[in-house]
A and B are shown apart, each in its own frame.
Chain A
Amino acid sequence: MIRQRTRWIPTLILLIGALYCVLPVLWIVIASTKTNDELFSTAPFLPAFNGGFWSNLDALFSYNHGIFGRWVLNSVIYAIGGGLLSTAIAGAAGYALGKYRFAGSTMLFRAIVAAVLLPQILLAVPQFLLLAKVGMTNNYASVLLPQLVSPFAIYLCKIYSEASVPDEIMEAARIDGGSEWRIFRSVGAPLMMPALVTVFLLQFIGIWNNFLLPFVMINNDHLYPLTLGLYGLMIITGGQAAQYSIVIAGVLVSIIPLGVLFLSLQRYWKIDLISGGVKL
């Protein structure tokens, strides 16, 4: 009797949790099928099939001469460019700190751990002021550059390289006459792949989701990422309910790429690295 019952309690809790997390997203999917009038007149969890979905998408992508497409492209540029570069930088630094000891390496690692605790968000204002001094704000670089180095990513790569690149293999490669650079390229980097994929995804999501940095750095709406564009769209339409369906379609479009990325790469990235790497 007890066995029968206990199995349903955790299942029920999980289902309620899943419902809580999925319902708003589901509502957006349903709401995106409705025209503005239907949005206020039909049942909230019943989709409409009067072509509202396509007309919303059409309205979204033709809004202000198709600027929404530009925002999608910008987000892709920021997230893929920043993600790849910051992964390479963190991978290289993490490998060096994990597998070699050199003058200042311990101190450097401590500084990086301290920087993990430094709230990035509080740096945005001075970052803007410094970049403004050298006339580098309001362009792609001003959003990309500050996000290229992630102390947390370096930390993860250091921990992972220590655990998964054996000294014995590096030693064997040295005996075979491989240069240190070749050992990094053909032994270290491939062994670190799971960590690198994870770091890339974390960075990709972090940059894709970033709001404050572009909010501070950019005032040309052609350089906006999706998040900032949607926020602007919401401000414009804030007073007038007539534009809600465009924003709803925009929200849907900004969720889909990450959802797809998540589901398709589920197997390759190791979130347990994060919990294994971080210890109090």
Chain B
Amino acid sequence: MSGPRTATAASKSRSRGGLLPVALVTPAVVLLLLFTIAPAIYAIFLSFRRMKVGKGLLGGGKPTEVWAGISNYTSTLSDSEFWASLGRMLLIAAFGVPLTVILSTLFALCLDAKRARLVGFARLAIFLPYAVPGVVASLLWGFMYLPATSPIGGDVVNYFGTKGIFFSVANVAVWGVVGFNMVILYTAVRSLPKELFEAAELDGATEFQIAVRVKLPMIAPAVAMVALFSVIGSLQLFNEPTTLKPLANAISSTWVPLMRVYTDAFVNNSIYEGAATSFVLIAMTVAATVLVSAVGRRIARRSTR
């Protein structure tokens, strides 16, 4: 889609097809409108609404839905528990994101190392957790953390303590995604031209130097992408803390922002504030996306120079 030649060639053959392409995209467009666009718009609408209790005796009478302006947003943003939940999420991300990125990069480079052994086995083994549902992974690690059943010293280390819990939740999240990211980065390493490594080797570079000085800078864009996915993933943290909650007293029902959205919407029956909180989170996701991709692009530009 880049050059003018391909553009004209493409438009010649691509403008054909009559109604077929329209028919082929119709199911996707209809479903996208119904289950993505409409809910998103409806959520925006709800975030500006609130319930008004009727003025009957003793506050009785039917409650009605009225405009709330930005009061849902201000009440979310001025709620210290919201910022506390955001802080907890960031603390988990501060463990989880670097750990995911470093481990998956390290594993990908080791997989590509020339004289490594057991590569096939390791690749499969590290990828295995991806096949384990997130909820099941949390249950699995829950047993690993529980003092009564822990094979990893749960009677010595307090995995569910007020400090340990952050590491414990981050660990479940990292365990689940590290293999998937490793495969993405490994594919990126494999697609690099082999001549470069041979040239570096002729120049007397060691395997380690090639990995750090040649391969790593060249896969920097893919690493940045993995980092972006990890950041977005941590903004959506919900399954792990929710599943560990019955086991760990340290986890409250508003422990991370999405748990608060869920609690607002389904426990407190206050969908309006939940919707506002959702949009605050979406705004943060977009900001994080822009930030990480800008940083990623800068790194990529520097590494190609």
Q: Is the CB of B282 within 8 A of A125?
A: no
One digit per residue, 1 when the CB lies within 8 angstroms of any chain B CB and 0 when it does not, for chain A 139-150 equals 000000110110
Instruction: Pick the residue among A96, A105, A230 that contacts B135 (CB under 8 A).
Output: A230
Chain B residues with Cβ under 8 A from A154's Cβ? 28
Question: Which residues in window 85-142 of A have CB below 8 A to B?
Answer: 89-90, 92-93, 95-97, 99-102, 105, 108, 111-112, 115, 117-119, 121-123, 125-130
Bound: A72/B188 CA distance, A: 36
| Known pairs A24-B144, A93-B28, A101-B10; A280 contacts B42 (CB<8 A) | no
One digit per residue, 1 when the CB lies within 8 angstroms of any chain B CB and 0 when it does not, for chain A 241-278 equals 10010011001001100110111001000011011101
Chain A residues with Cβ under 8 A from B228's Cβ? 280
- Which single residue of chain B is at the shortest CB-CB distance from A98? B14
Chain B residues with Cβ under 8 A from A96's Cβ? 20-22, 24-25
Q: List 7 A-B contacts (CB under 8 A).
A: A11-B110, A15-B122, A17-B110, A167-B9, A167-B10, A234-B139, A251-B139
| Known pairs A119-B282, A151-B32, A174-B16; A27 contacts B143 (CB<8 A) | yes
Known pairs A18-B125, A108-B25, A262-B128. 9 more at Cβ < 8 A? A10-B113, A28-B143, A100-B16, A125-B274, A126-B40, A126-B275, A167-B13, A244-B149, A275-B184
Bound: A2/B205 CA distance, A: 12
Question: Which residues in window 182-208 of A have CB below 8 A to B?
Answer: 184, 205, 208
A65 interface contact, C-beta 8 A = no
Chain B residues with Cβ under 8 A from A275's Cβ? 183-185, 187-188, 222
B304 interface contact, C-beta 8 A = no
A227 interface contact, C-beta 8 A = yes
Chain B residues with Cβ under 8 A from A262's Cβ? 127-128, 131
Binding site for A on B (CB under 8 A): 9-11, 13-18, 20-22, 24-25, 27-29, 31-32, 34-36, 38-40, 42-43, 46, 103, 106-107, 109-111, 113-119, 121-122, 124-137, 139-144, 148-151, 175, 178-179, 183-185, 187-188, 190-191, 206-208, 221-222, 224-225, 228, 232, 235-236, 238-239, 242-243, 246-247, 258, 261-262, 265-266, 271, 274-275, 278, 281-282, 285-286, 289, 293, 296-297, 300
Chain B residues with Cβ under 8 A from A235's Cβ? 246
Chain A residues with Cβ under 8 A from B224's Cβ? 280
Q: Is the CB of B140 within 8 A of A25?
A: yes
Binding site for B on A (CB under 8 A): 2-3, 6-8, 10-11, 13-15, 17-18, 20-22, 24-25, 27-28, 31, 39-40, 44-45, 89-90, 92-93, 95-97, 99-102, 105, 108, 111-112, 115, 117-119, 121-123, 125-130, 145-146, 148-149, 151, 154, 167, 170-171, 174, 180-181, 184, 205, 208-209, 211-212, 216, 226-228, 230-231, 234-235, 238, 241, 244, 247-248, 251, 254-255, 258-259, 261-263, 266, 271-272, 274-276, 278-280
Bound: A197/B170 CA distance, A: 31
Chain A residues with Cβ under 8 A from B140's Cβ? 24-25, 27-28, 251
Bound: A125/B110 CA distance, A: 42
- Secondary structure at chain A's binding surface: helix, strand, loop or mixed? helix
Chain A residues with Cβ under 8 A from B110's Cβ? 10-11, 13-14, 17
Min CB distance, A58 to chain B, in Å? 20
Min CB distance, B126 to chain A, in Å? 5
Instruction: Pick the residue among B132, B206, B286 that contacts A258 (CB under 8 A).
Output: B132
Bound: A278/B180 CA distance, A: 14
| Known pairs A18-B125, A20-B175; A122 contacts B281 (CB<8 A) | yes
Bound: A149/B38 CA distance, A: 14
User: Among the interface residues A10, A17, A22, A123, which one has the most CB atoms of the partner chain B within 10 A?
Assistant: A10
Q: Is the CB of A18 within 8 A of B206?
A: no
Chain B residues with Cβ under 8 A from A45's Cβ? 151
Chain A residues with Cβ under 8 A from B289's Cβ? 117
Chain A residues with Cβ under 8 A from B111's Cβ? 10, 14
- Which single residue of chain B is at the shortest CB-CB distance from A238? B246
